[in-house]
Amino acid sequence: MKTAPQCTACPTKSSGIFGDLSQERLELLNQAKTTNHYSRGQNIYYEGNPPKGIFCIASGQIKVFKSGADGKETILRLAGPGDVLGYRSLLSDAEHGSTAEVIQDAMVCFIDKHFIMTLTKEDPLLAFNVMRRLGSELAQTETRLSNMINKGVRERLSELLMVLQQTRGKKVGDGVEIDVRLTRAELASMIGATSETVIRLLSDFRDEGYLALEGKRIIVKDPVGLLAEANIES
């Protein structure tokens, strides 16, 4: 059991929604939060559960997904350090519309519903940060929806790889490694495809020199070529 982290010294403070909080409020938040460690495979909350508060990710990686009728899951987004989970359901006070599962061991702070709601009402800047986040998630989801409709799997996969490379990339000798361990099935469920199709396309991309595949590692070697495949408009 590690010592509990301090919000006042949280490395994700500036990138999260609490970056603009005053010192006193941050101290209050620090008192109010509780911290938990989760390991790969554990769930933070489940689709259908009533929301009890929000989760602020200090470290690790989490996938947020919906389960369809036949159990097939659709990954809505990945969340890492600085991201906040569960505020959407809180606003409408409806049950969670998705499940959050840890894919890389994580440290996550929990903030009670009542506390965060009060804090948000008192602090317009916090409210604005939340709005901005919701807005940007909405924009992203709308783009994905549009991509689902008028792009093929190949384009969607290359776009996903580009995004992952930018947001989760780690420079290695001969390229940029995607630094989240995702199975092919998970990649597939982020773009609405099957694992077989993703496997085939990854091999194609490797054969075409865009990627190197070393087991679970994916290293992007030719981002420019890959981007061209994605065929992004605007």
Partner DNA sequence: ACTTCAGCCTGATTTAGATCATGTCGCCCT
Partner DNA sequence: AGGGCGACATGATCTAAATCAGGCTGAAGT
Q: Which of 14, 213, 228, 231 binds DNA (CB under 7 A)?
A: 213
Q: Determine if 4 is a binding residue for its own copies (CB under 8 A).
A: no
Q: Determine if 97 is a binding residue for its own copies (CB under 8 A).
A: yes
Q: Determine if 151 is a binding residue for its own copies (CB under 8 A).
A: yes
Q: In terms of CB distance, is 88 or 154 closer to DNA?
A: 154
Q: How many other β-carbons are positioned within 10 Å of the β-carbon of residue 109? A: 23
Q: In terms of CB distance, is 48 or 152 closer to DNA?
A: 152
From the list DNA, its own copies, none, which binds 213 (C-beta under 5 to 8 Å, kind-based)?
Answer: DNA
The whole-angstrom separation of Cα 177 and Cα 218 is 6
Q: Which of 114, 132, 170, 216 binds DNA (CB under 7 A)?
A: 216
CB 188 within 8 A of CB 147: no
45 class by beta-carbon count within 10 Å (0-12 exposed, 13-18 middle, 19+ buried) = buried
Q: Determine if 35 is a binding residue for DNA (CB under 7 A).
A: no
Q: In terms of CB distance, is 71 or 173 closer to DNA?
A: 71
Supply the minimum distance, in Å, between the C-beta of residue 25 and its own copies.
15
CB 32 within 8 A of CB 112: yes
From the list its own copies, DNA, none, which binds 39 (C-beta under 5 to 8 Å, kind-based)?
Answer: none
Span 96-125, contacts to DNA by CB under 7 A: none
Span 157-186, contacts to DNA by CB under 7 A: 183-185
Q: Determine if 193 is a binding residue for DNA (CB under 7 A).
A: yes
DSSP string, 208-231: TTSEEEETTEEEES-HHHHHHHHT
Q: Determine if 11 is a binding residue for its own copies (CB under 8 A).
A: no
- The site map against its own copies for 48-67 (x = CB under 8 A) is x-----------------x-
From the list its own copies, DNA, none, which binds 153 (C-beta under 5 to 8 Å, kind-based)?
Answer: DNA
* 153-168 and 195-207 helices, crossing angle to 10°: 70
178: closest CA among 210, 201, 142, 146? 210
Report CA torsion sign: 58, 60, 64, 67. Answer: negative
Stretch that binds its own copies, among 51-59, 105-113, 124-132, 174-182 (CB under 8 A): 124-132
Retrieve residue 99's tokens: 């499940």
| CA distance to 117, 138, 185, per residue, from 46 (Å) | 21, 21, 20
Q: Which residues bind DNA (CB under 7 A)?
A: 152-154, 183-185, 192-197, 199-200, 202-203, 213, 215-216
